[in-house]
Chain A
């Protein structure tokens, strides 16, 4: 039977199983929460070691990035992410993974043209938009100060 595009769309959407949110949402909540708890633990450690509040926060970010990159290099991060979903994608460890993964993957095309060029294929848009918006925000703040 000849189906119209709309009829066919209804058919394939009906036959396509949805994401099992009842499993993925709790898994993301649990894993994301555990990463935050870990971050808080590291921060408490830095604070008790005598670091200031501001320096501790930056040190926590650095520690979690190091952890994300290390787990990616050890080929463990994607296995955790398969269970955790957004739980490992949203925290800063996910950002670290999105840069480390292509760097590892494309090193076969050489250090410069492979790893360096392809390193930002996933994280590139985040960096571009973050830098651009920070510049715009800076200009607005500066204009506010001048006026």
Chain B
């Protein structure tokens, strides 16, 4: 059922299983106990950073399938994406995985985009189980978007640290966490040109998607135990909080951001916080879903955010458009 911008899933669609695979730095962070696989090094035994990200993607997907008890032939299709040009991490990992594959790109909002599309496929009765995944790797992102790793430049305080992480979930007709609704985002461009301040570029999109969900979904923020954005980190999360306060709404303690949860900002030198497709995907699988299964969280709004720029558009002086997709998760019991 569609109401305004919100898709409500009438059939019972659940997260059957989930898994995450992360790099060394993420494995040393506060969520270390929640990850399924932590790499011994960020190369994951491969010769290039791109191959390493593929391996990490494949590992997370295989782990999710293994944990679910399903066989490969049960998986209807894989919907996934990453940050690299032409989405090579997803495509190259899918080459080895062998599933039907739909590659998607929503920058760091990719996990919610793939989950919304996966749930829609199951709702339509086209697939029974859909594997949704998103990944990012610090080293591949740095060399594509910024500087070589060994370059001795300093990062501004507003910059974020791209997570070396992949999260994968299997959607199906049984499970303990239900996907109740999705709100696909609209693209908003508040005119930010600073590529070292993605949080500011994406915050408005997060505010707009959440506002439309509260309006069209006829829900109030206080009806949710956790409202979590993807990777707005310190700057963007503060802006979202302020924008809602201007509306007279206090999100309060229930509001969080995956970029602030993945790393220990005091000890891990990540400046404003974490970012990347894998940031929200891994936090979902390592922290949010386990807490929902333990019934610590009953209803959660998972809202990954994406900065839709390319190195080319930034070099040409274009401002950075942002997007935010929302997934409403509920404890099934």
Contacts and interface: CB of A to CB of B under 8 A. Distances in A.
Interface of A: 1, 3, 5, 8-9, 11-12, 15-20, 24, 72, 75, 77-78, 80-82, 84-86, 88-89, 94, 97-98, 100-102, 104-106, 108, 122
B297 interface: no
Residues of B contacting A: mostly: loop
Contacts of A9: 190-192
B212 interface: no
Interface string B126-161: 000000000000000001000111111110111000
B25 interface: no
Given A3-B243, A9-B191, A11-B239, A108 B157 contact: no
B277 to A, nearest CB: 22
Contact of B154 (A3, A11, A82, A105): A82
B147 A101 contact: yes
Interface centre among B151, B158, B191, B235 (most CB of A within 10 A): B151
Contacts of B242: 11, 15
Interface residues of B, number: 32
A12 B153 contact: no
Nearest to B192: A12
Contact of B152 (A3, A97, A108): A97
Interface of B: 47-49, 143, 147-154, 156-158, 190-192, 197, 200, 203-204, 234-235, 238-239, 242-243, 246-247, 269, 272
B243 A12 contact: no
Interface centre among A3, A12, A77, A82 (most CB of B within 10 A): A12
Contacts, number: 97
Contact of A75 (B147, B150, B246): B150
Given A15-B238, A101-B149, A108 B192 contact: no
Contacts of B197: 12, 16
Contact of A98 (B151, B156, B192, B239): B151
27 contacts: A8-B190, A9-B191, A11-B239, A11-B242, A12-B190, A12-B192, A12-B235, A15-B239, A16-B157, A16-B197, A17-B157, A17-B158, A17-B235, A72-B150, A77-B152, A78-B149, A78-B151, A78-B152, A88-B152, A100-B150, A101-B147, A101-B148, A105-B149, A105-B150, A106-B148, A108-B47, A122-B148
A78 B154 CA distance: 9
B269 A82 contact: yes
Contacts of B235: 12, 15-17
Given A77-B150, A89-B152, 16 more contacts: A8-B190, A8-B191, A12-B190, A12-B235, A17-B158, A17-B234, A17-B235, A18-B157, A78-B150, A78-B152, A81-B154, A89-B154, A106-B148, A108-B48, A108-B49, A122-B151
